[in-house]
Structure 1
Amino acid sequence: MSPKQPTPSANLFAAAGLEQDAPRPLPERLRPRVLSDVVGQDHILGPDGALTRMLETRTLGSLVFWGPPGTGKTTVARLLADATELQFEQISAVFSGVADLKKVFEAARARREMGRGTLLFVDEVHRFNKAQQDSFLPVMEDGTVVLVGATTENPSFELNAALLSRARVLVFQSLDAAAIEKLFAHAESVVGRALPLDDEARAVLVRMADGDGRAALTLVEEVWRAARTNEIFNAAQLQDILQRRAPIYDKSADGHYNLISALHKSVRGSDPDAALYYLCRMLDAGEDPLFLARRVVRMAVEDIGLADPQALVICNAAKDAYDFLGHPEGELAIAQAVIYIATAPKSNAAYMAYKAAMRTAKEGGSLLPPKHILNSPTKLMKSEGYGDGYQYDHDTPEAFSGQDYFPEALGRQTFYDPPERGFEREIRKRLDYWTRLRNERQS
C-alpha cells in the first residue's frame, strides 16, 4: 500500500510549523526512539534478550507479543521495523476486515517486488476470527510480510494453532515499580519540572499505574495539570485529585481467570490470608460479588465436601447475606465464608466419588437394578419376582440388612472413599462397620 498522500491543508499546517506546537499527550511525546530506551522488558530487549539476539543475527521472524496494556508492544514493533529497515504497516483487528487485509497484502507484495520488506503490526490480533487469521498464513510463509501481532489475551486460547506454529510468542511483562520510576524520571527530564509529590504520594502514584506505562504517564500529566505553583501533594490529596484510577482488570480476560484460580487454589491450600488477598483484589477491581459467592459455594462442595458438612451451609448463607445486605456490608459475609472454607478440613472424596459413579453409569448402560429392590404394583411384576426377598432395613438388627443393591451384571462397586479427616473420619468408621456387617450377613 503506497503511503497516504497528505492533503494540501495538512501540508500548509506542517509548513507553518504548527504541527510541532499542536498538543500531544505525554505518552506520545515520550515514546522511545530506539529499542534500548524501552523500559521494563529486559528479558526481551536486554543484552541476552530474545529480540536482541534476533537483531544481531538479522533473522527476524513473525512474532506474537502477549502482555498487558501499556507494556510497550506497539512501540517495540515500530522500533523493530526501523532497526530492520522494513516498512512499518499497522492495522487494528477492531477496525479492519477482509478487504483491509487484502489491500495491505497487495501493497506488501508490490513493495517486495521492489526489494523492500514489510513489518505488519496487527493490534488486538486475537479479535480476528479463524478465517481472517488463516489469511495471514500464505503471506507469512512466502515472506511477503513479517507479522507482529499484539494481544492482551492468552494466545494459546485465542489464536489458531496454524498461526501460532509460524510465529514466536514473546511475553511482555507488567512494568515493575523501578520501571515506572524510570518513566517518571524521564518525564521530569523532558518536561523540565519535578513531580509535585511528596515521597509517599509518589509511591502511591506508582501503585496507581498498576504496571501500565501509558497509564503512568497519563497520570503524571494529570498531576501537573492539577498542581498550582509551588504546591506539593501528599498521598490523600493525590487520590482526591485523580479519583484513584481503578486497577487494570478485564472480567473477560486473563486477569479475571488468573485471580479466581489463585483464590480457589489458596482456599484448597488452606491459606486464609492468601485467599483473602485474592478475594479483595477481585472485589477492589469491580468483580461481581455474586460471581465470587457462587465460586465459593463450588469450593465448598469440590474441595471440602463432607469433611465439614457445614461449609456448604455457611457458603450458601454468605450468598444469601450478600443478597440481603448488598454492597458494601455483604462482601464481609463472603470474606467470612472464604476464611471458613480456607481453614476447614479438605476432602475431594465426594467429588471424586461422583465422577467415578458418573463414569460407571455411562459405561454400564441401562442395567436393571436387582429385582428384590424393585416395586411390584402389578400381579405380572410379582410373578416375575419383583420385590422378592427384599428386607426392610428398619426391621433388621442394627437397622442394616446388608443386601446388595447394585445391578447383578455390574457387581458391587466402591466410589466413595472418605479420608481420615474432619467429619469424614466418623463417616469412615460407619462405612467400615457396615462393611463388616455386610460381609458377616452375606456369608
Structure 2
Amino acid sequence: MSDLFSASGMADEAPRPLADRLRPQTLSEVVGQDHLLGPDGALGRMLKTGRLGSIIFWGPPGVGKTTIARLLAKETDLEFEAISAVFSGVKDLRAAFDRAENRRGMGKGTLLFVDEIHRFNRAQQDGFLPFVEAGVVTLVGATTENPSFEINGALLSRCAVLTLKRLTPEALEELLQRAEALEKRKLPLDARAREALIDMADGDGRYMLNLAEQAFTLADDGKQLTAEQLSNALQKRAPAYDKDREEHYNLISALHKSVRGSDPDAALYWLARMITGGEDPLYLARRIVRMASEDIGLADPTSLMIAAEAARTYERLGSPEGELALAHAVVHLATAPKSNAVYVAWKSAQRSAKETGSLMPPKHILNAPTAFMKEEGYGKGYNYDHDAEEGFSGQNYFPDGMKREAFYQPKGEGREGPIAERLKKWAELRRQKGS
C-alpha cells in the first residue's frame, strides 16, 4: 500500500490507520464474503476460468467492495485505476478512458473501479458503454444503493451484479483477532464490552476497526473496560437508513408485513428502527391507517378508529410523546383479527366499474321528483326494505342487464363472522324471492 501513501505525499513510515494496515493482501484474507469468493461463488468461478467480466458490487459500507476490486486487478494482472463518482466528472472519466486505451495499445488491460457509481447521472453512466463493450476497461462499480433503481439499464445489462453481505459477528470477531495479532496485545475489553464493540459496528468492518483502534488507547493502565465504559467513550455507528431510498421501502415493508403477520414484537422493532433512523412519524401514521383498512378491515372495525386517533394524537403531541400512540396502534393492529376482504372487494368493484362503463341504475331505485319522471317509470316497483319481511326486500340494485357480482367475501375472522352469516341468509332470501 506504500504507493497510496507516496502518492499522497506520505512516507511509508507515516502513521496509518489500523483498518488500512489490516487491508487484505489476497482474496483468501477477505472475510464475510465466501458466497462470492469461495470455489462455487461467482468471483471464484470467474477467476478459475481466467475471465473477469464487468461487475457491479452492491452492499453496505465497510464490507470490502474496494478491497476486493483491488485484489481482483492483482489476480488478473490488470492495471487498477480508481475514481469516485463523488469527486469525478466527465473530464476525469475521459482521462481514465484515455489512459486505459493507451495501456491497451501496450498490451495491458485496465480494471476501472468506480466508487459510488450510482451518483453518476444517466448520461454519465451511458458514457461507460462503448468502453465496456469494446473491452477497453473491465468495469467494477461499487454502490450502496439498489442497482435496479440507480444504475442505467443498458449499463446494468452488461455487468454482473454481485451482492456483498454486511459482516456477521463471527466475521467481525475474526477481524478483531487479526487486529490484536498485528498490535501484539489484547483489546482492553471484558467479554461483554467486546460484544458491544462488535454491535456498535453494525456490520461495518472498517468502522469496527476504527473503534478498535480507539479502544486500544482507552485503558493505558492495563485495566479492562466494561460495556458501559466503552459505550460512554465510543459512538455507535448510525444505522443505515435513507428516508428517500431503498432502505426506507425495505423497512416500511417489514413493518407492514409484521402487522399483517400478527407479530406485534417484530412490528414494534421495525417501527422503532424507522423512528430512530429519522423517518417522519406522520408518514408512519398514514401507513398505519392504511394497514388498518387493508389488512384488518371489518374483522375489527375499531382498528381503523384507533389508527386514526393515533395519527391525531401524534399531530397534537409530536415527538417523543406522540410516538407512543403510534406504537399503541401498531400493537393493536398486529394483535387484531385480520381480513383483507374489503380491500379485495374494492379492487374487484373498481375493475367492474371500469368494464361496465356508464350503465344507469335500475329505474325502480331512482327518485321521481317530477311527473314526467314518474311517467318514465322512475321509482316504479320500489320496495321499501323497512316494510319488507325481515327488513329485506331482496330487490336488484345493480344496473339492468348486468350480472350480479359478489365482490365482498368476508373471511369469518373477528367481527366478519356474523357479517358472513347475515350475507348468507340474505343470499338465500334473495334466491327465494327470485331476485
TM-score, L = length of structure 1? 0.90
2:80 to 73, 88, 96: 88
The residue aligned with 1:392 is: 384
The residue aligned with 1:123 is: 115
Does 2:134 correspond to 1:158?
no
The residue aligned with 2:292 is: 300
Q: CA deviation at 1:308?
A: 0.8
The letter of the residue matching 1:426 is P
Aligned mates of 2:426, 2:101 — CA distance in 1: 78
The residue aligned with 1:263 is: 255
1:422 is paired with a residue whose SS is: coil
Q: CA deviation at 1:66?
A: 1.0
2:264 to 250, 253, 272: 272
Aligned mates of 2:295, 2:336 — CA distance in 1: 10
The residue aligned with 1:140 is: 132
Aligned mates of 2:62, 2:223 — CA distance in 1: 29
Aligned mates of 2:280, 2:218 — CA distance in 1: 33
The residue aligned with 1:189 is: 181
The letter of the residue matching 1:81 is A
Aligned mates of 2:124, 2:402 — CA distance in 1: 52
2:12 is paired with a residue whose SS is: helix
1:298 is paired with a residue whose SS is: helix
Output aligned runs, 1:300-339, within 5 Å: 300-339=292-331
Does 2:169 correspond to 1:180?
no
The residue aligned with 2:198 is: 206
Q: Show CA shifts across 1:59-86 (max 9, x none).
A: 1111111111111001110111111111
Contact 1:126 1:153 in 2 (8 A): yes
The residue aligned with 2:64 is: 72
Contact 1:108 1:145 in 2 (8 A): yes
2:407 is paired with a residue whose SS is: coil
Aligned mates of 2:142, 2:408 — CA distance in 1: 48
Output aligned runs, 1:340-359, within 5 Å: 340-359=332-351
1:230 to 215, 219, 222: 222
1:233 is paired with a residue whose SS is: coil
**Is 34-43 or 160-169 further displaced after alignment?**
160-169
1:37 to 8, 29, 32: 29
- Across the aligned residues of Structure 1 and Structure 2, the Cα RMSD in angstroms comes to 2.4
1:376 to 368, 372, 375: 368
The letter of the residue matching 2:101 is R
Aligned mates of 1:115, 1:124 — CA distance in 2: 29
Closer/same/farther in 2, CA of residues 228 and 133 from structure 1, 3 Å limit: same
Q: Show CA shifts across 1:280-327 (max 9, x none).
A: 333343333333332222211111110111111122222233334433
Contact 1:300 1:311 in 2 (8 A): yes
The letter of the residue matching 1:238 is L
TM-score, L = length of structure 2? 0.92
Aligned mates of 2:86, 2:402 — CA distance in 1: 56
Contact 2:202 2:237 in 1 (8 A): no
Q: CA deviation at 1:136?
A: 2.0
The residue aligned with 1:217 is: 209
1:122 is paired with a residue whose SS is: strand
User: Percent identical across equivalent pairs?
Assistant: 62
1:170 to 151, 156, 162: 162
1:362 is paired with a residue whose SS is: helix
The letter of the residue matching 2:399 is P
2:132 is paired with a residue whose SS is: helix
The residue aligned with 2:408 is: 416
Q: CA deviation at 1:48?
A: 3.3
Q: Runs ≥4 in structure 1, deviation > 4 angstroms?
A: none
Does 2:95 correspond to 1:103?
yes
2:322 is paired with a residue whose SS is: helix
2:53 to 61, 64, 67: 61
Q: CA deviation at 1:329?
A: 3.7
Aligned mates of 2:316, 2:388 — CA distance in 1: 48
Q: CA deviation at 1:225?
A: 4.1
Aligned mates of 1:306, 1:41 — CA distance in 2: 48
The letter of the residue matching 1:124 is E
Aligned mates of 1:47, 1:436 — CA distance in 2: 67
The letter of the residue matching 1:105 is F
The residue aligned with 1:427 is: 419
The residue aligned with 1:3 is: none
Contact 2:201 2:236 in 1 (8 A): no
Q: Show CA shifts across 1:203-247 (max 9, x none).
A: 001011010011111211232344443242111111111243332
The residue aligned with 1:362 is: 354
Closer/same/farther in 2, CA of residues 90 and 381 from structure 1, 3 Å limit: farther
Q: Show CA shifts across 1:261-284 (max 9, x none).
A: 222222212222332333333334
Contact 2:188 2:225 in 1 (8 A): yes
The alignment of Structure 1 onto Structure 2 pairs a total of residues equal to: 432
